[in-house]
Chains A and B, each alone.
Chain A
Amino acid sequence: MADSAPATADKLPKVLAAEKGMVNVQIDGTWIQVPRGTRMIEACKQAEQEVPHYCYHTKLSSPGNCRMCLVQMGMPSRPAPGHHISFGDDGFQKIGWMPRPVISCANTVAENMGIRTSGALVEECRNGVMEFLLINHPLDCPICDQAGECSLQEFSVDHGRGSSRFEEVKVKKPKNVEIGPRIRLDDERCIMCSRCIRFMDEVVDDPVLGFIDRGTHTKLTVHPGRQLDSNYSLNTVDICPVGALTSNDFRFQMRVWFLKETKSIDVNCGTGCNTVIWTRGNEVFRITPRENNDVNSCWIPDSHRLNFHYLHAETRLDAPMIRKGQNHENADWFDAIAKAAEGLKGHQRGEVAIIGSGRQTNEELYLLKRLAETLETDLLTLVPRFEESDGRLVSADRNPNTNGAKLLWATDDPYAKLDAIREGVSGRKIKAIVVFYEDLLGAAAFKATDLEKLELLVSNHLLPNGTAKASHVVMPGAGFAEKRGSMVNITGRLQRLNQAILPPEGVMDDWEIIRDLVAALDHNEPARHLIEDVFTEIVDDVEELEELTLSKIGDLGIQVTETGETIPLIETERGEIVG
C-alpha cells in the first residue's frame, strides 16, 4: 500500500475509476463511483436520491414512456479549438449543464457526468408530467385496491397540483374487465407505463398484453382470443404502479394500510421464493414476492402465492383427538401426547416407522430424527413429491425442504425407506406409524385397508383427511404462516420462515408437538423452550450450519451447501443484458 499511495495520488479520478471498470458521476453535488453501463436512475438510487418513476422497473427493459424520471444532466464541455481540457483541483472537469432534461431510466452514466435530481427545471418537469398523467385518471381512489400503495397517489402528493385545470370530460375506457382468470383490468386507471406488457414479454415469454388505439384513447388489452392466464400473471398486479390491474383474489378484501407485512418464504416447491405475508389480526390476506436475486428475482408463481386459503378453512383441526371406537373425541394435549407415547413404548424396535414431510422445517426434521433415535428405529423417511419443473421458478421437487432433510439426517436420499415402510405395513411387520404433515393416502400411496391394520397411528395434520380418520391419535399442527423455522432450498440456501399469524386456539406448533413426544418417551432429553434451542442443537450436529443462529440467517438467506442445482429463471436473468 505504501508504494502505491504516491502513484495513485498522481492519477486522475477518471483513471482510478476506469481501472475498476467504474465511472465518476456527480449526483446532486456529490461525486460517486458507479459501474460503467449503469442506468442513471440506478446511480441515483445508489446515491440515495429518489427519482420518481412509473414505467421503469429494475428487472425490465426501459422504454422511457412515462417521462416521470426526468432529471437534469451535464457533461464536460468540449474544449474550443486551441484550448486544452482542464481539470479542477478535485481532478474533475467542469460540467456544462444541458438546458433540457433527460430521462434517467433509459440513459447510462458516463465519466464526469453530472446529474441533478432536484432544482427548478426538474421540479417543473415532474409537475407537468404529473398533471398530464392525472388528466384522464378517474377519481377512483375510494374504491381502488391500489390506494395506499399507489405510486400515482404518492407522487401526486409531492409533485401534483391540489386541483385540476382540466375542464373537459375525461376519456371513457373499459372498466372492470376480466382479462384473465385471476386478474381484473381497469383501463381508465392505466397510465400506459407498459410494465405488465414488458413483464409478460420479457420474463414470462408469453406476450399476451399490448396497447391498442392512439393518443388519449390508448388502452391496454389482451390479445384477441387469448387470456392473461399464465401462472405468473399476478406479478403484473404487483408491478402495476396504479390500480389498473388488480387481483381477483385480493379484490376488495382489505385496504393495504391495515395489513402487517411479515417477511417469509414460500413452501410450495424447492425454490423457496421469498415472500411477504400480509396479515390483519389473525388472518392472511395476500402473499406477494420479495426481491431476492439469488432465489426468485422479484417474482412468484400464482399457484404458490394463492395457496394459503386453507389456513382459514372452516374444517381446520383445532384440538388433539383420540380415537374411541369408530369416532374421534377431543382430548387435551397432555392426554394425546401421553397416549401416543404409551402406544409407542409398547412396540419393539423395527415395528415403529416415522414418516415426516419435506414440507417441515429443519427444526421439526431434526426433532423427528431425535424421535427415531429415541425409539431406536431406522425407519425414518419423507414422502417424495416430484413433478415437472416449469423452467422458471417452480422446481421439479415440490417439497420445499428436501435438502434440509439431507443435511440433518446426513443421508443422500431421505425418501429411500418409504417403499420399505409401505411394504412393512401391508406385510404387518410394521405395527405403529408416526406421521407428520402428510396424508398417507395421498402422495405416499398407502392403502386405506393397510392403515386400518395398524395398532397405532399417530398423525399430525392441518385439515381432516383419510389418514387423520384412520389415526388413533390426531395432533393438529400449525401452517406455514403460523410458525418460525428454517428450510434449505434446492440450491442449498438456508432461508427462514417467520410467524405472521398465530395458529388457531388449541393447536400447538409442530416442533413443540415432536418435542413433547420425545420428552414423554425419554425423560433425559434436554429441555427445549425456544425454537432457538433446537437450532443450537442442529448447529452442533451439522457441520454446514456452523456458527449460525436463526437470526443470523437474515431476510435473504445464506448459502450453506452446494447442490449443483440452479433456478432456471435466475440463470436466464443473469445471462441477459437488460436494456
Chain B
Amino acid sequence: MAVIKLKRPKLSWYEHLYLPAIIKGLLITFKHAVISVFGKATGSKELASSGLGVTMQYPEQKWDEHLPEYYRGIPALVTDEQGRERCVSCQLCEFICPPKAITIAPGELKSDDEWAKVEKAPKAFDIDMIRCIYCGMCEEVCPEQAIFLRQDYAMTGTTRAEMVNDKDRLYQLGGVREGLINKWNEVK
C-alpha cells in the first residue's frame, strides 16, 4: 500500500488566534436560540414541537403521526381474518435473528383443530425485547406472513422477565391483519 504523507495546513496569524472562530460559533448558536424562542425553527410545525425549536417534550408530546410507514417497532405475531394463527413455528426467524432474541418451542396442532392440516403451530414463542434490535429480519424471512414489526416503540418493564413478550402477548400486540395471502385455504 502506498503511503501518502500529508502536510498540516499552515494557519494564518488570524486563524492562530482561535478566539474569532469561537465567537463566530457562539453567534450562530445564539441566532438559532433567538429563532426558536419565536417559534420559527425549521421543522417546528411539522414535528409539532413545543414551539421551542425542534425539541419535543416526550412523553407529553409524541411523534407517532409522523412515523414513516416503514418504521420498525416492536415485532408481533398476527392472526388473519379467518382467525388463524399464522405462525407455523418454522423457526426461520429464530435462526435469522441476529441478537438471538427469539425462542420458539414448536408444537403440533391437534387432529380435531379446524386447521389441523397446517399440522404445526408454536407451543411457545418468546421475543426478548431487551435483546431485540428492531432490525426487521424476522419479518423479512417469514414464509407465512406471520410476524410484523409494528409502529409501537415504547416498551418498558421493571424486570427482565417483563421485557420478554410471550406468545399471548405477541398475538395481542399483533392483532388481526387482513389482506395476507391465505395459502392454506383449500384450492378447488
A interface vs B, CB < 8 Å?
139, 141-143, 147, 169-170, 175-176, 251-255, 257-258
Task: Establish whether residues B106 and A253, one from each chain, have CB atoms under 8 Å apart when the complex forms.
Answer: yes
Partner of A255, one of B90, B117, B143, B188: B90
A54 to B143, CA, bound (A): 26
The 7 closest A-B CB pairs, nearest first, are A142-B90, A143-B120, A255-B91, A252-B106, A142-B143, A143-B88, A142-B88
Task: Establish whether residues B120 and A252, one from each chain, have CB atoms under 8 Å apart when the complex forms.
Answer: yes
Task: Establish whether residues B91 and A258, one from each chain, have CB atoms under 8 Å apart when the complex forms.
Answer: yes
In the assembled complex, the CB of B118 is this many whole angstroms from the nearest CB of chain A, namely 7
Task: Establish whether residues B95 and A252, one from each chain, have CB atoms under 8 Å apart when the complex forms.
Answer: no
Task: Establish whether residues B120 and A139, one from each chain, have CB atoms under 8 Å apart when the complex forms.
Answer: no
- Chain B residues lying within 8 Å of A251, measured Cβ to Cβ, are 108
Q: 17 extra interchain contacts, Cβ-Cβ under 8 A, other than A252-B89, A252-B119?
A: A139-B183, A141-B90, A141-B143, A142-B90, A142-B120, A142-B143, A142-B144, A143-B118, A169-B187, A175-B117, A252-B106, A252-B120, A254-B91, A255-B91, A255-B95, A255-B106, A258-B91
- 21 CB contacts below 8 A, A to B, read A139-B183, A142-B88, A142-B92, A142-B120, A142-B143, A142-B144, A143-B120, A169-B187, A176-B117, A176-B119, A251-B108, A252-B119, A253-B106, A254-B91, A255-B90, A255-B91, A255-B95, A255-B106, A257-B95, A258-B91, A258-B95
Nearest A residue to B123, CB-CB: A252
A184 to B13, CA, bound (A): 87
Q: Which of A147, A169, A175, A252 has the most CB of B within 10 A?
A: A252
Instruction: List B residues 144-188 near A (Cβ within 8 Å).
Output: 144, 183, 187-188
B107 at the interface (CB under 8 A from A): yes
A255 to B120, CA, bound (A): 12
Task: Establish whether residues B90 and A143, one from each chain, have CB atoms under 8 Å apart when the complex forms.
Answer: yes
Task: Establish whether residues B107 and A252, one from each chain, have CB atoms under 8 Å apart when the complex forms.
Answer: yes
A255 to B104, CA, bound (A): 11
- Chain B residues lying within 8 Å of A143, measured Cβ to Cβ, are 88, 90, 118-120
Nearest B residue to A147, CB-CB: B90
- Chain A residues lying within 8 Å of B91, measured Cβ to Cβ, are 254-255, 258
* Contact bitstring B106-133, A, C-beta under 8 A = 1, else 0: 1110000000011110000000000000
A384 to B120, CA, bound (A): 45
In the assembled complex, the CB of B111 is this many whole angstroms from the nearest CB of chain A, namely 8
- Chain B residues lying within 8 Å of A170, measured Cβ to Cβ, are 187
A139 to B183, CA, bound (A): 9
Interface size, B (range)? 10 to 19
- Chain A residues lying within 8 Å of B95, measured Cβ to Cβ, are 255, 257-258
A169 to B185, CA, bound (A): 13
A139 to B144, CA, bound (A): 11
Partner of B106, one of A141, A254, A257: A254
Q: Which of A142, A169, A253 has the most CB of B within 10 A?
A: A142
- Chain A residues lying within 8 Å of B107, measured Cβ to Cβ, are 252
Nearest A residue to B144, CB-CB: A142
Nearest A residue to B111, CB-CB: A176
A537 to B1, CA, bound (A): 56
In the assembled complex, the CB of A226 is this many whole angstroms from the nearest CB of chain B, namely 23
- Chain A residues lying within 8 Å of B120, measured Cβ to Cβ, are 142-143, 252
- Chain B residues lying within 8 Å of A252, measured Cβ to Cβ, are 89, 106-108, 119-120
Nearest B residue to A251, CB-CB: B108
A143 to B109, CA, bound (A): 11
A258 to B118, CA, bound (A): 22
In the assembled complex, the CB of B62 is this many whole angstroms from the nearest CB of chain A, namely 37
Instruction: List B residues 71-98 near A (Cβ within 8 Å).
Output: 88-92, 94-95
In the assembled complex, the CB of B121 is this many whole angstroms from the nearest CB of chain A, namely 9
A537 to B144, CA, bound (A): 58
- Chain A residues lying within 8 Å of B92, measured Cβ to Cβ, are 142
In the assembled complex, the CB of B102 is this many whole angstroms from the nearest CB of chain A, namely 12
In the assembled complex, the CB of A252 is this many whole angstroms from the nearest CB of chain B, namely 5
In the assembled complex, the CB of A66 is this many whole angstroms from the nearest CB of chain B, namely 26
In the assembled complex, the CB of B30 is this many whole angstroms from the nearest CB of chain A, namely 59
In the assembled complex, the CB of A48 is this many whole angstroms from the nearest CB of chain B, namely 30
A142 to B181, CA, bound (A): 15
In the assembled complex, the CB of A574 is this many whole angstroms from the nearest CB of chain B, namely 42
- Chain B residues lying within 8 Å of A176, measured Cβ to Cβ, are 117, 119
- Chain B residues lying within 8 Å of A258, measured Cβ to Cβ, are 91, 94-95
A254 to B91, CA, bound (A): 8
A350 to B45, CA, bound (A): 97
- Chain A residues lying within 8 Å of B90, measured Cβ to Cβ, are 141-143, 147, 255
Nearest B residue to A139, CB-CB: B183
- Chain A residues lying within 8 Å of B143, measured Cβ to Cβ, are 141-142
A251 to B89, CA, bound (A): 13
A252 to B106, CA, bound (A): 6
In the assembled complex, the CB of B80 is this many whole angstroms from the nearest CB of chain A, namely 15
A188 to B89, CA, bound (A): 21
Q: Which of A254, A255, A257 has the most CB of B within 10 A?
A: A255
In the assembled complex, the CB of B11 is this many whole angstroms from the nearest CB of chain A, namely 60
A147 to B89, CA, bound (A): 13
In the assembled complex, the CB of A478 is this many whole angstroms from the nearest CB of chain B, namely 26
A254 to B107, CA, bound (A): 10
Nearest A residue to B106, CB-CB: A252
- Chain B residues lying within 8 Å of A139, measured Cβ to Cβ, are 183
- Chain A residues lying within 8 Å of B187, measured Cβ to Cβ, are 169-170
- Chain B residues lying within 8 Å of A253, measured Cβ to Cβ, are 106
In the assembled complex, the CB of A246 is this many whole angstroms from the nearest CB of chain B, namely 10
- Chain B residues lying within 8 Å of A254, measured Cβ to Cβ, are 91, 106
A251 to B106, CA, bound (A): 10
In the assembled complex, the CB of A471 is this many whole angstroms from the nearest CB of chain B, namely 37
Nearest B residue to A143, CB-CB: B120
Nearest B residue to A175, CB-CB: B117
Q: Which of B89, B106, B183 has the most CB of A within 10 A?
A: B106
A175 to B118, CA, bound (A): 11
In the assembled complex, the CB of B97 is this many whole angstroms from the nearest CB of chain A, namely 12
A175 to B90, CA, bound (A): 18
Q: Which of A139, A143, A176, A251 has the most CB of B within 10 A?
A: A143
